[in-house]
Amino acid sequence: MLQLDNLSFHIAKDGEDFPLLDEVSLDIPTGHFMAIVGPSGCGKTTLLKTIAGINPETSGSLRYQGRDLAEEADFEPHEIGYVPQFSVAYDELTVDESVEAAARLRIKSRTTTELDERLDRILAETGMTEIADRPVKVLSGGQKRRLGLAMELVSSPKLLLCDEVTSGLDPRSEREIVHLLHDLSRKEDRIIISVTHSLAHLELYDSLLVLHEGRVAYHGPPSGVTHYFSVKDTEEIYPALSQQPSAKWQSSWNKHRKHYEDKLIANSANNPTPQAEEAGEDESTEPQVRAPGFFAQTATLLSRRARIFFRDKGQIILQLALIIGFPLLVSLFSPKANEQSQKLSDSMADNKIVELINRTEVRESRLKVGSANSGIIMFQVVLLCLMGSNNAAREVASERNIFEKEKFGGLSSLSYLTSKLLFLSVLVLVQSLWMGFFVEIFWKFTGNFASHLAFLVMVNAAMTAVCLGISSLAKNAEQASLLSIYLVGFQLPLSGAVLALPEAFEPLTRPFIAAYWAWSGAVDSLDEEKFNAIKAVTETSLSQSDTCIFMLLVHLVIGLAAALIGMQKPRWD
Ligand SMILES: Nc1ncnc2c1ncn2[C@@H]1O[C@H](COP(=O)(O)OP(=O)(O)OP(=O)(O)O)[C@@H](O)[C@H]1O
């Protein structure tokens, strides 16, 4: 039995306490199929989220099988399934792969055979065996809803919460989904609560909850609802609701509640589910569901991310274009940087004017070489910053809903971060090392080349980590992209590599500019001649390579910490 006792959820609105749910009390027997209906905005989704624990209740209590969910133990992730309004599957995967990934993230299977059997059973139960190989992107609306249900059934939840899983479907698909939910509620003593706008197929529900402005107006058998509201047709319920304030509906419901809910409990006792009949209410017969560990979840996420990446043609083309195009672009400037700076002859010219001309020519040649080498390094650094931002800006923000849903199902934020870290590290290494080695063919880096490579890798890694942090903290993918692009845009002007910044300004901005630390560190890795040539053309002070590596590491760590903080923060729509 699921019991809601005076459950309320309030928000602060214009500085005042405002109830979205007000003292909702319900008794829902096991193996029960309940519909929540009510006018738009009456609090149906809010109630579902409060039961799920996504909205913390302001007052009142929730009990499941006698245990207080707030005081004692909350639902284990495997005990509860929540099918939200949005799709939780990736378009690039097939039905089979989506359900398998959901299973691997939520439960620990002893053997592959055990997992396969579970997947086959769920696909058969939800009528998707025939379309198991089909990509999610070609599924119909009804098939997508079935997939959403299948992905929740992997842990055999005792409580399944469905938010408008029939909305927008044609009448036939809607009927099929309601029948499917009805059948699922008859298995494993499962309680299914379904928010719906539709008043069709009410006969399939065990009970109907009518909400009005966050308050219960009715909870009883669907057959009794027209009598209760004194209307001829269910379609007339909403107009009837608007005829008196919700507080009045609530107080009259409180007078009738016991009578109706006793009836529901008596009905459920008369119609035990097949499992309840076989096993009685003995919970000790239930198989133990264990959550997968950190490494198992990380491996599942990583293999799913790689699969999605390789199936996304747009992503592959963009990555190839960046990886090939950017180093090519840098190499176009290599002839100037390869020029040797002229040296002064050991002997002085006899003529003072000739000597002066020689010195001026040497100086000009040195400035040219210095600025070409500085430019080529900064060009590499800025383009790698751009790649880093492209790598990570949308990585979390674009799949935030799915991530929240998976976190709700028991996914650890640390596994999620680690999988992103591993995936992005491969991109960073390929992009940065290719940039370094390819440009080296055309422009010889005279100095410590390994150190130069390290700075290219570090600046890309730092920018990727910071943009991952932005992606994880941002409200949405558009905001994350915009902030990341601004961050890259500021790198070149604030690095001081092109124009020295005003003295008072420089110490304020420098710590935040990854491009400066990578440029300065790479310049410090050059041989003495080129280092001096660059020093001669720039007014910006250069830092030692150790300091530069340290600062880039700080950027990396801050980015990752921000990403983890953002991931741990609940961000439901
Ligand atoms: N966290 C929140 N903060 C502020 N307002 C909220 C919050 N959650 C919900 N609301 C508001 O509470 C009201 C009820 O929202 P809810 O989504 O529960 O309604 P609903 O009955 O499911 O609506 P619909 O049928 O249109 O989906 C709406 O006016 C919504 O804007």
pLDDT digits (tens, 9 = 90+) for 194-243: 999 888 889 899 999 999 999 999 999 998 899 999 999 888 999 999 99
Asked if residue 20 has its Cβ within 6 Å of ligand 1, the reply is: yes
Q: Which domains does the chain have, with CATH numbers?
A: 2-86+158-281 (3.40.50.300), 294-568 (no CATH)
**For position 270, what pLDDT does the model report?**
65
Residue 434: partners with Cβ closer than 8 Å, 6 or more residues away: 323, 327
Q: Does position 287 have pLDDT exceeding 80, yes or no? A: no
Amino acid residing at 268: S
Strand partners, 195: 36, 163
Name the residue type at position 118.
Answer: R
- Cα of 81 vs centre of ligand 1, distance in Å, is 21
- The pLDDT value given to residue 152: 94
> Does residue 384 contact residue 436 with C-beta atoms inside 8 Å?
no
pLDDT value of residue 457: 98
Q: pTM (2 decimals)? A: 0.88
50 lines ligand 1 (CB under 6 A): no
Per residue in 88-144, pLDDT tens? 899 999 999 999 999 999 999 888 999 999 999 999 999 999 999 999 999 998 899
Q: What is the mean pLDDT of residues 332-345?
A: 68
pLDDT at 273: 55
Q: What is the pLDDT of residue 280?
A: 46
Reported as a single tens digit per residue, the pLDDT across 468-481 is 999 999 999 999 99
Do residues 2 and 64 make contact, with C-beta atoms less than 8 angstroms apart? yes
Q: Is 43 in the pocket of ligand 1 (CB under 6 A)?
A: yes
Q: From atom 16 of ligand 1, which residue's Cα is the shortest distance away?
A: 43
Among the residue ranges 66-70, 278-282, 346-350, 356-360, the one predicted with the least confidence is 278-282
Q: The tokens of 168 are what? A: 């927008």
Pairwise CA distance, residues 492 & 385, whole Å: 10
Q: Is 112 in the pocket of ligand 1 (CB under 6 A)?
A: no
Q: In this prediction, what percent of the chain has a pLDDT beyond 70?
A: 91
Number of separate helices (H) and strands (E) present in the chain: 21, 10
Question: Among residues 402, 339, 346, which one has the least CA distance to residue 372?
Answer: 339
Q: Which two tokens stand for residue 83?
A: 């099918």
Residue 281 confidence (pLDDT):
46
Residues 6+ apart with CB under 8 A from 422: 298, 302
Biggest CA–CA distance in the chain, Å, is: 119
Rounded Cα distance, 552 and 254, in Å: 64
What is the distance in A from the centroid of ligand 1 to the CA of 305? 33
Token pair for 464: 């990727």
pLDDT over threshold 70, residue 358: no
Amino acid identity for residue 22 in this structure: D
The residues near 201 (Cβ < 8 Å, ≥ 6 apart) are: 174, 175, 178, 179
Instruction: Name the nearest CA neighbour of 167 among 128, 141, 131.
Output: 141
Query: Which pLDDT tens digit goes with each residue over 155-196?
Result: 999 999 999 998 888 888 899 999 999 999 988 889 999 999
* Distance (Å) from CA 63 to ligand 1 centroid: 24
Q: Is the pLDDT score of 338 beyond 50? A: yes
Sheet holding 191-195, edge to edge: 80-83, 159-163, 191-195, 33-37, 207-212, 215-220
Q: Which of 300-304, 355-359, 382-386 has the lowest mean pLDDT?
A: 355-359
Rg (CA), the chain: 32
Query: How far apart, in whole angstroms, are the C-alpha atoms of residue 530 and residue 366?
Result: 9
pLDDT at 315 over 90: yes
Helix or strand run (H / E) with residue 118: helix 112-125
In the predicted model, what is the mean pLDDT of the chain?
89
- Does ligand 1 come within 6 angstroms of the Cβ of 70? no
For residues 328-359, b (16+ Cβ closer than 10 Å) or e, as one string?
eebbebbeebeeebeeeeeeeeeeeeeeeebe
* Ligand 1 neighbourhood includes 56 CB (under 6 angstroms): no
CA distances in angstroms from 557 to 243, 420, 430, 465, listed in the order given:
59, 14, 21, 8
ipTM reported for the complex, 2 dp: 0.96
Write out pLDDT tens, residues 5-40.
999 999 988 888 889 999 999 999 989 999 999 999
pLDDT at position 529 is: 85
For ligand 1, is residue 392 a contact (CB within 6 Å)? Answer: no
